[in-house]
Amino acid sequence: MYAVNANRSSIYNPSLDNLRSLLIIRSIALLGQTGVLAYVLVASRTTESLWGVTFSLLTLALFTTASLWRTTRPWPVTDNEFLAQLLVDVLGWTALMYFAGGANNPFVSYYIVPLVISAAVLPWRYTWLVAGASLLAYSLLLYYYQPFPLFTPHAHPGHTSGSNVHVLGMWFNFLFSAGLITYFVVRMGATLRQQEAMAVAQREDRLRNDQIMAVASLAAGTAHELGTPLSTMTVLVEEMLSDTTLPPQAREDCTLLQEQLLQCKATLTELTRTAELTTAAQRQSGPLGEFVERCVGRWAVRRPGVICDVSCDNTGEGAPGPRIEFDSTLCQAFDNLLNNAADSGSDKVAVSYRWSDREAEIAVRDWGEGFAPELLQDIGKPIIRNSGPGLGIGLLLTHATVERYGGRIELCNRRDGGAMATLYLPLADGERREPES
């Protein structure tokens, strides 16, 4: 148990690291204001009008200490919590500036720090909220503040008159800077995050393609090596069937074995031929219903012990349906979904197909144990997981093939038991219809 907790605590958490950085920045700012307070205390040798600054510094210091203790807890840091910390920064700094000369205090420009942090870390709407709070606080400090000996030596207590031109210039500079940061920095941060996500997706695609190429090379070598033993088994089965003394049950078994061997040889021949078809122009097209019926019929020969029902959900619109583009790789991808359904322990598989104006939909339903949660999460990622008796690469290859056709795969577990894999494919050119407005 200790080792597990240690591993969990060692996982890098960027949100928690950002919160620690914010607290360190706040601590440095508080140390700077403490130095100013000490200088005023030594220079003036009086504590008059310094109690408010001292109380504000102590309050912020205590809150920062409590927040630093919070970073040692395993609780996740949410955007709302980070926003609350930034608003505490704005509120606490406003109280500190109120007792330290208001907008006359040159440290009033610290309001730009939580704004920049928000622009870099939080969503856009939160950044606008921090910008609005900072601008409101800065504006109020132009008129409402307590004089501070170092920054307002000629002011009188209760001073609420307008600020001079220099202070107004500082306010306009803050307004201009806040607008630029809130708009452009947020956009640049979003662009960088989008580029990073695209780079990650490209790396995953390259890794997945490398895995698929490795599997394809292995499949090509295996297909070449299986030719000889399949031919030998075919000859032996034919000799056994030619024996007139063979019992009826054994003859029936040999006949089934011969059919399976012929199917294996046909699959290897198709695999060899498919390796030479690399261009989209060599794809064929046909009605959706015929594609489903042909693939299911060919698959049912290899899995005679599984009942497979095929139905069309578009009643009254013609069973064949619109045309789709496909080749043998797409048929193999469909077979993988059927094999996964049969390998789930279900003795029945239901296949249904339908279509809309833009795409075709083929659903494969089983009544087995359902998909593992990690498989649902990692669908399409370059990760090969062991899926029961299979090799765990069927879904990876299926996803890559369907994605090459511009389609997608969705997996889900049914509430009434079993699982469903849904294959979405675009219709062939000329079959798509724009929805009526």
Q: Give the CATH number for residue 315.
A: 3.30.565.10
Residue 157 and residue 10 share a domain? yes
* Domain end (from 141, 163, 185): 163
Q: In this structure, what are the phi and psi dihedrals at residue 359, rounded to the nearest 5 degrees?
A: -150, 160
Q: Pick the residue with more confidence: 184 or 78?
A: 78
* Domain end (from 246, 274, 302): 274
Q: Number of folded domains in the chain?
A: 3
Residue 82 and residue 10 share a domain? yes
Residue 244 and residue 153 share a domain? no
Q: Which tens digits make up the pLDDT trace of 11-65? A: 446 778 788 888 888 888 888 888 878 887 777 666 566 788 888 889 989 999 9
Residue 387 lies in a domain: yes
Q: Which tens digits make up the pLDDT trace of 316-350? A: 555 567 888 887 778 888 888 888 888 888 788 99
Segments forming the whole domain that contains residue 116: 2-163
**Has residue 389 got a pLDDT over 70?**
no
The model's pTM is: 0.47
Residue 156 lies in a domain: yes
**Model confidence at 264, in pLDDT bands (50, 70, 90)?**
confident
Q: Which of 28-37, 267-276, 364-373 has the lowest mean pLDDT?
A: 267-276
| Residues of the chain above pLDDT 90, percent | 6
* Domain end (from 215, 239, 274): 274
